[in-house]
């Protein structure tokens, strides 16, 4: 049975997305395979008015969902580090969750530490270790660029490990 998992790395300027497929082999139930289908980013310009930026995220995520047809979405939880930035990301994240609800898509959420733990075995791993794990797990010759897309694939892989 195949499952399509869309990972999202929320942001206001850049939302990373990455879709993986997981295939469970019926004759060998414990065995599964995973592969990368697509990845990319949704971008908004700081020169745009805030409402327009949120509309762009909303519309573009609808397009991504329609094109990629995920069964499950995995979203990175907010990491609080600068209040002003956190509020902007929270607004963008709310728009993303609304789009998921409109498509009746189930979603799971993971903190950055949970993602690092799942991919590297260490909750305080650095970004390069996580990106190396993404490339290794998906059998990619190079780390996906930009970083936001690689992060989204890491979120999707974390969901795959949980199912």
Domain ranges of the chain: 2-162
Gap between the Cα atoms of 77 and 154, Å rounded? 13
Structure letter (DSSP) for residue 142: S
Structure-token match 């607004």, residue found: 91
Structure letter (DSSP) for residue 77: P
Instruction: Give 22's strand partners.
Output: 3, 34
Quick one: pLDDT at residue 83? 62
Average pLDDT over residues 4-31: 85
Quick one: pLDDT at residue 81? 60
Quick one: pLDDT at residue 131? 95
Average pLDDT over residues 79-102: 84
Quick one: pLDDT at residue 18? 98
Quick one: pLDDT at residue 25? 58
Q: Pick from 52, 25, 19: which is nearest to 38 by CA?
A: 19
Gap between the Cα atoms of 42 and 12, Å rounded? 9
Residues serving a catalytic function are: 9, 76, 148
CATH topology of domain 2-162: Nucleotidyltransferase; domain 5 (3.30.420)
**How distant, in Å, are the alpha carbons of 20, 33, 79 from that of 97?**
19, 28, 17
Gap between the Cα atoms of 153 and 142, Å rounded? 13
Convert the pLDDT of each residue in 21-63 to its tens digit.
998 655 555 566 899 999 999 999 999 999 999 999 999 999 9
Gap between the Cα atoms of 109 and 66, Å rounded? 21
Q: What is the CA radius of gyration of the chain?
A: 15
What φ, ψ does residue 111 adopt, rounded to 5°?
A: -80, 160
Q: How confident is the model at residue 71 (pLDDT cuts 50, 70, 90)?
A: very high
Convert the pLDDT of each residue in 144-154 to its tens digit.
999 999 999 99
């Amino acid at each position: 049975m195949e499952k399509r998992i869309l990972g999202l790395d929320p942001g206001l300027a850049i939302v990373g997305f990455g879709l993986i497929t997981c295939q469970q082999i019926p004759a060998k139930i414990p065995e599964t395979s995973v592969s990368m289908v697509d990845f990319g980013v949704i971008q908004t310009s700081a020169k745009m008015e805030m409402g327009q930026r949120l509309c762009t995220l909303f519309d573009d995520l609808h397009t991504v969902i329609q094109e990629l047809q995920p069964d499950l979405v995995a979203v990175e939880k907010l990491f609080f580090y600068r209040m002003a930035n956190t509020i902007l990301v929270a607004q963008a994240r709310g728009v993303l969750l609304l789009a998921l609800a409109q498509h009746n898509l189930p979603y799971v959420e993971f903190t950055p530490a949970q993602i690092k733990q799942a991919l590297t075995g260490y909750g305080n791993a650095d970004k390069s270790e996580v990106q190396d794990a993404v490339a290794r797990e998906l059998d990619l010759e190079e780390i996906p660029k930009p970083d936001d897309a690689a992060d989204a694939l890491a979120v999707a892989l974390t969901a795959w490990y949980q199912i």
